[in-house]
Structure 1
């Protein structure tokens, strides 16, 4: 990571798309609460304001009722059925509230950090502290890693870890573990309103802008290892397509 100017972050906007996640949503929101609490160790001049927006997208279960228990988190409902739309609309809402009273929106956007995760995932306690440290050192984009939970069988998890390169400078892109400075996000054209690969498309656009990125394994996000997910090409689809156990030979193919 080299080169970008250091700009103080005044506001962290966390946006979480939610679609029928009443079972896993409490884990997600408890983990976010712990990550926000960890910022209390950051000295006051450098400690940003943090907001969380849960985007309830076409939920038919009790996700909204679960979310209501976290009274410090904002909520909105949409009827898109597409994770790209949920992320995009949630960020627009969060940025609009943050920038509404400011006269120089472009300058203000450079002081806002957008962090995204998923409702079936649990961020680590150092998630925000680490992203902000990287941002203070010039990162405009932070790409973290994910780790499947125990919904993935032990032998499948072992093979997944063998195939999935984890380390500093890793090659992976996950909407469940992504941070980006708001001005660069807007310059890249926002999340595309699609139901798959919105994270990959955004990162490709950011790289065309030659943003300064940090690809780190210091903030692994625990995510669902289920094989049937809420998004047609989300992490569940990745597991189905790439973690294929050959029952006859006991070999994992990718």
Structure 2
């Protein structure tokens, strides 16, 4: 199993991300699954590298300043480490450096994979500490457990290795590389499952590391409560 985390100047939140991943990886390994975590430092100028060095992860450095390129490099390295005989048996889980995954994140995706899913679209929720109280209340009122909307978020996305390869992998673009991958997978007839069982906590900031992405969604919604 591969886990890929792109990082661009995330010294404030990276330790939280990697700490949460440590727990999720531990749960998967106790279930007998080998996991390779690759952290991709993309044009970082802060202390992200030093923070990543404190965790049991493989670190790759690139200077693309494009999240698609960072994810692609991370997947390539993870697959090299796993050296899979059959990509159909490999699962690639993706999250972001400003996010924290639950302990069942990997085991839940593996359960769905074994049930026949090729792509898992997990839900994310913003850190309510970053939102105005009215905004947090609005989020709770409009998001209902058990009814995942099926949106594509790179912070909570899993894909079977063979489908990833057939779909062309992540494209080296500044944003929406996750959406492009899922669209390509759907075009191939991949089985896509939406789930909110292992929801990921992500930053509620309104200025993200890409022009669009989740921060743009939060920013658009937050304008109602300014």
* TM-score class normalised by the smaller sequence: over 0.9
Residue 171 of structure 1 deviates from its aligned partner by 2.4
2:33 to 48, 71, 77: 48
Q: 2:2 aligns with which of 9, 13, 29?
A: 13
1:172-187 matched pairs, under 5 angstroms: 172-187=151-166
Shift of 1:177: 0.2
Tell whether the 8 Å contact from 2:28 to 2:35 is kept in structure 1 after alignment.
Answer: no
How many pairs are equivalent? 225
Residue in structure 1 matched with residue 146 of structure 2 by the alignment: 167
1:131 counterpart SS class? helix
**Hey, what does 1:90 align to over in structure 2?**
74
Q: Bigger radius of gyration, 1 or 2?
A: 1
For residue 38 of structure 1, report the CA deviation from its aligned partner.
Answer: 1.6
- The structure 1 residue matched to 2:208, chosen from 229, 234, 243, is 229
For residues 225 and 154 of structure 2, the distance between their equivalents in structure 1, rounded to whole angstroms, comes to 29
- Aligned partners of 1:48 and 1:97: how far apart in 2? 14
1:66 paired residue number: 51
Q: Do the aligned residues in 1 keep the contact of 2:39 with 2:58 (CA within 8 Å)?
A: yes
Which structure has the highest helix share of the two?
2
Gaps of 5+ in 2: none
Normalised to the residue count of structure 1, the TM-score between the two structures is: 0.84
Measure the CA separation in 2 of the matches of 1:196 and 1:164: 25
Question: Following superposition, which runs of at least 4 residues in structure 1 exceed 6 angstroms of deviation?
Answer: none
In the alignment, what sits opposite 1:39? 28
- Paired with 1:30 and 1:49, the residues of 2 have a C-alpha distance of 18
Q: TM-score, normalised by structure 2?
A: 0.94
Counterpart of 1:121 in structure 2 is 99
Q: Aligned residue for 1:112?
A: 90
Q: Secondary structure at the match of 2:155?
A: coil
CA contact (8 A) 2:29 2:35 kept: no
Partner of 2:17: 28
Matched residues in 2 for 1:171 and 1:244: separation?
24
CA contact (8 A) 1:55 1:75 kept: yes
